[in-house]
Structure 1
Amino acid sequence: MAESGFRASGIRGELPVSALAEEMLTAGDGQIRALVTVAGNPVLSTPNGRQLEQALEGLEFMVSVDLYINETTRYADLILPSTSALENDHYDTTFNMFAVRNVTRFNRAILPKPAGALHDWEIFVGLAKAFAAQTGVALKPTMAPAQMIDAGLRAGTYGDASAHKLSVAMLAEHPHGLDLGPLSANLAARLKTADGKVQAAPAVILADLVRFAAQPAPVVDELLLIGRRHVRSNNSWMHNYHRLVKGKPRHQLHMHPDDLASRQLGDGQRVRVSSRIGMIEVEVVASLEMMPGVVSLPHGWGHGRPGVRMTIASSQPGASANDLTDERQLDELSGNAALNGVPVQVSAA
């Protein structure tokens, strides 16, 4: 392993992506020589994207489960496209966390699966079987997602023993979903802290705030770069859909008018933004929403790289904020990259 804190920062099998390129580029035992990506674009979404490009180019093998040849998958030896969203069943396990009522709904696919196409889970099972055949590893039986959901519904509070008797078949009879009533409190019973209370101010975090507050002020002419996301361009793949990118551009650098004036820059001008790891050119927009001393560049742009086959995205390339973010600038507690508060300089292009 490279000297990155990679091992020390691993949590639940996850490792900080700030060390990914380093682990690919550093020769020796433990060097990463192959990679699987799943509907991801780390070249645009992780720190120091240019360094990661160099690392991906040197891999022995890379496979991507993806629908696009984007800034990352262009390095893949093999791209395995899965079915699209409308060709998949759907049961929400994420956004129900924000529900204000206890609801449940199972949506069958709107469009049939094309001949020869595979769902993403079928691709994963196929890869696992191929790996097992080569290594002799025994695989556990696999259930289709609909079967897993059905088993969970039947085993849950509203399963076979309840008045509702939830199952996938039962929900199929109610395509608009079911309202199971008001939410009921259950957090207290699930807390595992020693005193049974939410630790809102852990000592380790309070101590780190002291360290953070003691950091030196930015040097003269230095600005702090933060990211932003627009609801219609939240991630890079959304930039390849005309209805989401039409209208006024949303990939400019936002900057306070006072910071523009002090650098003799004008609204709409092409500027050069540089950090320790690189430099980009982008159009700047004056914005009173920005605090003086802070500039903002949105996430997920930077589609002008060669080899990208995303027609609409390439027509509005923008610039990648992660060509400026620094893989050495880390959150002290977690080891994750600090993608905001990146020191940069802005000047005329």
Structure 2
Amino acid sequence: MRRHPEAKGELPISALAEEIDTATDEGEPIRAVVAVAANPVLSAPDGDRLDKALGSLDFMVSVDPYLNETSRHAHVVLPPPPPAQSPHHDFAFNTLAVRNQVRYTRPAVPLEPGRMAETEILARLVLAASGGHGADPAAVDAMVIDRTLGKAVGEPHSPVHGRDPKALAALLTGENGPERRLDMMLRLGPYGDGFGADPDGLTLQKLLAHPHGIDLGPLRPRLPQPLRTRSGKVELLPDPIAADLPRLRAALDERPGGLVLVGRRHLRSNNSWLHNVPALTGGSNRCTLHLHPEDAERLGVRDGEPVRVKGAGGEVTAPAEVTDAVRRGVVSLPHGWGHDRPGTRTRHAATDPGANVNQLLDGGLLDPLSGNAVLNGFPVEVAPLTATAAESAGL
């Protein structure tokens, strides 16, 4: 078994299949998996191997609204409520914002009696995995609040340094545990009220009073407070990267001379999630192979006609889209497609399944520092399909 490096306590998805289907002297393989909004059969390299590995598990749980290429292997599928019945605060994408703003919205439509919110589903899974099955899911929120405040009062840069965590917890507001956790994070954040230290700062109640959001102004520097490096500085060239530079220099001299493939995203497509929504498919949101006009002429490929793309892990077919949006020697195929496996319930996505670009990889080409699969810039061969081959491929 390959020894993949960990990053923030996590192993790369490229390790999952071998962790399931390979036994070693060091321990037993993985026999149970919990997947949350994940479809690695399409998003990971060598999805065929992972597909078979998931099918061999003793137990699998998926938290997913769809029975897709991955969740079809689950013994239990726990569908979360739709967006109209779910609260929303943007954690992930605010890190990519070009201006500081904040907004929180409660569910527009109440849950039906007996239906669980997604936060409760996840809390119950945490309890089940930690031996607390049957306990009140609110205990998970209470534990997170207790630990976070306990850490915050010991942090010299924190606005609550030296205060009593239990007294701070008693100040939190919200209708439930997740809202109390949000109130805590807002108050401890760079724009928060610091539990009274800045009366004009953010709290959950302030967000609820501004349902359309609050403009916090342009981005502003925060260094060095967020740094968590051992040196307390921005480490531009840490030792692991410096040690890998000779390999990088050698790789520049070994670049393939033929075509290389890069991925791409569509404006109305997010991984494999949105292909089952009719309003978001069609138009430019299609699975086509972009290639430069000069490469198309050299290969005898015509715009709109099917082509075969072959990589180290296998081959796929897709319609050609001749465009000067890519450079000569580069072709591009979007990721997240390949909705043609049996046993799913994504009827609209299956009408135009597209090609799974990650099946072109064999899973062996990895970045040595992170262990992640190399998903861009790998060599491929492209050739037009014959009429008979295109017909048999359904193109």
Superposition TM-score, scaled by structure 1 size: 0.89
1:66-120 per-residue CA deviation (whole Å, 9 max, x = no partner) reads 0001111111111111112221112222333344554332211112112322122
Alignment of 1:150 with 2:183, yes or no, is yes
**Matched ranges for 1:270-289 at <5 A:** 270-289=306-325
Hey, what's the Cα distance between the residues in 2 that align with 1:138 and 1:108? 22
Gap runs ≥5 in structure 2: 142-176, 386-395
Hey, what's the Cα distance between the residues in 1 that align with 2:255 and 2:129? 52
| CA pair 348-103 structure 1, distance change in 2 beyond 3 A | closer
Q: Find the counterpart in structure 1 of residue 109 from structure 2.
A: 111
Alignment of 1:292 with 2:290, yes or no, is no
Alpha-carbon shift at residue 194 of structure 1 (Å): 6.9
Alpha-carbon shift at residue 247 of structure 1 (Å): 2.2
Alpha-carbon shift at residue 46 of structure 1 (Å): 0.6
In structure 2, what residue type is equivalent to 1:25?
A: D
Hey, what's the Cα distance between the residues in 2 that align with 1:234 and 1:135? 34
| CA pair 99-248 structure 1, distance change in 2 beyond 3 A | closer
Aligned residue for 1:114, secondary structure, equals coil
| CA pair 330-99 structure 1, distance change in 2 beyond 3 A | closer
In structure 2, what residue type is equivalent to 1:247?
A: G
Hey, what's the Cα distance between the residues in 2 that align with 1:169 and 1:103? 16
Hey, what's the Cα distance between the residues in 1 that align with 2:231 and 2:59? 49
Alpha-carbon shift at residue 223 of structure 1 (Å): 1.9
Hey, what's the Cα distance between the residues in 2 that align with 1:243 and 1:147? 36
The answer on whether the counterparts of 1:234 and 1:299 sit within 8 Å (CA) in structure 2 is no
State the aligned residue count: 343
Gap runs ≥5 in structure 1: none
In structure 2, what residue type is equivalent to 1:93?
A: F
For the aligned residues, what is the CA RMSD? 2.6
Hey, what's the Cα distance between the residues in 1 that align with 2:66 and 2:134? 33
Q: Find the counterpart in structure 1 of residue 40 from structure 2.
A: 42
Hey, what's the Cα distance between the residues in 2 that align with 1:106 and 1:258? 50
The answer on whether the counterparts of 1:236 and 1:300 sit within 8 Å (CA) in structure 2 is yes
Alpha-carbon shift at residue 158 of structure 1 (Å): 1.5
Alpha-carbon shift at residue 184 of structure 1 (Å): 4.2
* Alignment partner of 1:122 out of 101, 120, 123: 120
Hey, what's the Cα distance between the residues in 2 that align with 1:345 and 1:101? 43
Hey, what's the Cα distance between the residues in 1 that align with 2:79 and 2:178? 18
Q: Find the counterpart in structure 2 of residue 21 from structure 1.
A: 17
* Alignment partner of 1:84 out of 57, 82, 85: 82
1:40-72 per-residue CA deviation (whole Å, 9 max, x = no partner) reads 110111111111111111111111000001111
Relative CO higher for 1 or 2, CA cutoff 8 Å, sep ≥ 6? Answer: 1
In structure 1, what residue type is equivalent to 2:256?
A: P
Aligned residue for 2:333, secondary structure, equals strand
Alpha-carbon shift at residue 122 of structure 1 (Å): 0.9
Tell me which moved more, 250-259 or 196-205.
Answer: 196-205
**Matched ranges for 1:146-225 at <5 A:** 146-156=179-189, 157-161=192-196, 162-164=198-200, 166-180=202-216, 183-191=219-227, 197-202=233-238, 204-206=240-242, 208-215=244-251, 216-218=254-256, 222-225=258-261
Hey, what's the Cα distance between the residues in 2 that align with 1:133 and 1:326? 38
